[in-house]
Homo-oligomer: A and B are copies of this chain.
Amino acid sequence: MDFKEKYDFYLKEFERILACFCNDIDCRPDVLKDSLKYSLLLGGKRIRPVLMFAVADLLGLERCKLSNFALALELIHTYSLIHDDLPEMDNDDFRRGKPSNHKVFGVGNAVLAGDGLLNTAYSLLLKECRNGMEYISAAQFICDCAGIYGMIAGQSADLLYEHATSFNENTLDFIYENKTGKLLTAPVVVPAILSGGRCYSELKNFGKDLGLLFQIIDDILDVEGSFGELGKSTGKDKIEEKYTSVGLYGLDGAKLRADVLAQRCRTVLEGVDGDSEFLLQLVDFVRSRKN
């Protein structure tokens, strides 16, 4: 299988799990059920589940052990997008080429859809806790990544510095590491935890660098991409005077930084015992992605 086939293989595996999961959602009233499913089934790259499955294969861990962790992570990611798109947050009317959750269901229902997804993610993780201590550790790792010392800290700092006139590298690193990085570290580290800690620190560093790379490419795409390619508004960062890696380092500087991070990701992978070909290609895919 070439890279694209392998990506699709993991993607389809996750889409099947997600479809079953969505099919079982049976809450009332309908607007709650519909708003949850709407955002979960909007599509997207599903890079977190794909990463998780690929790292499981690298470490020789059965992927089926990760289904609920992959779901939980995608639910947390989806809730964060719904709340992030709200008018008083990032104020995005489009997500993946479709109207954002609050444009379809209203702000009140979008707040509740986000809350509901976050809660349901923990329902899945608590179920996994019954399987033993390493499963509890994995659930706690995701919780830490998503929480007030992780993603939420990054979102809060992002909001705080939205219209800031002064800005430095430390602040940008803090925001990117937490807002994007933490939730991309989790899918890489969870399989390591479930494998008894194999390559834990190496994979943690890999996840952190990949997360930074991912966010910097987002910044570059906001300048160079189009709505047609991205499915969301572009040029927003500049309009909102938002400080990004492009604002801080310039377009060429940001690209250079992306190259350095991609190289660091490759170096980690090359040191891990196992077939890392797909993950190496994934790094290139993230570096050169157009959406």
Q: In chain B, what residue has the closest Cβ to A130?
A: B136
Query: A31 contacts which chain B residues (CB < 8 A)?
Result: 156, 160
Task: Specify which chain B residues have a CB less than 8 angstroms from the CB of A112 in the assembled complex.
Answer: 83, 152, 155-156, 159
Using known A-B contacts A29-B157, A148-B27, A153-B32, determine if residue A143 contacts B118 with beta carbons closer than 8 Å.
Answer: no
**Among A7-15, A120-128, A199-207, the stretch in contact with B:** A120-128
Task: Assess whether A67 is interfacial by the CB under 8 Å rule.
Answer: no
Interface string of A81-109 (1 = CB under 8 A from B): 00100101100000000000000001111
Asked whether, in the complex, the Cβ of A126 is within 8 Å of the Cβ of B136, the reply is yes
A119 is an interface residue with CB less than 8 A from chain B: yes
Residue of B nearest to A102 (CB): B88
In the complex, what residues of B have CB within 8 A of residue A159's CB? 108-109, 112
> Within 8 Å CB of A143, what residues of B?
119, 122-123, 126
User: Cβ of A119 and Cβ of B152 under 8 Å apart?
Assistant: yes
Q: Which 8 pairs show the lowest CB-CB distances between chains A and B?
A: A88-B107, A32-B156, A119-B147, A27-B148, A116-B148, A88-B108, A129-B129, A122-B122
Say yes or no: B88 contacts A106, CB within 8 Å: yes
Q: 21 A-B contacts, Cβ less than 8 Å apart?
A: A27-B152, A27-B153, A28-B174, A29-B153, A32-B152, A36-B148, A88-B106, A88-B107, A116-B147, A116-B148, A118-B119, A119-B146, A119-B147, A119-B148, A120-B147, A122-B122, A122-B125, A122-B143, A123-B147, A126-B136, A129-B136
Beyond A28-B153, A123-B140, A126-B143: 15 further Cβ-contacts under 8 Å?
A27-B152, A29-B153, A32-B148, A83-B111, A83-B112, A86-B108, A86-B111, A88-B108, A89-B108, A89-B111, A116-B147, A116-B148, A119-B147, A122-B122, A123-B144
Bitwise, A62-89 to B at CB < 8 A (1) or not (0) is 0000000000000000010001001011
Interface residue? A51 (CB, 8 A): no
User: Are A140 and B118 in contact (CB-based, < 8 A)?
Assistant: no
Binding site for B on A (CB under 8 A): 25, 27-29, 31-32, 36, 79, 83, 86, 88-89, 106-109, 111-112, 114-116, 118-120, 122-123, 125-127, 129-130, 133, 136, 139-140, 143-144, 146-149, 152-153, 155-157, 159-160, 174
- What CA separation (Å) do A112 and B285 show in the bound complex? 32
Q: Which of B114, B119, B126, B156 contacts A109 (CB 8 A)?
A: B156
Question: Quick one: which of B32, B86, B88, B118 contacts A118, CB cutoff 8 A?
Answer: B118
A35 nearest CB neighbor, chain B only: B156
CA distance A117 to B127 in the complex (A): 21
Q: From residue A249, how far is it (CB to closest CB) to chain B in Å?
A: 22
Which residues of B lie under 8 Å from residue A140 when comparing CB positions?
123, 126-127
Task: Note all chain B residues with C-beta closer than 8 A to A36.
Answer: 148
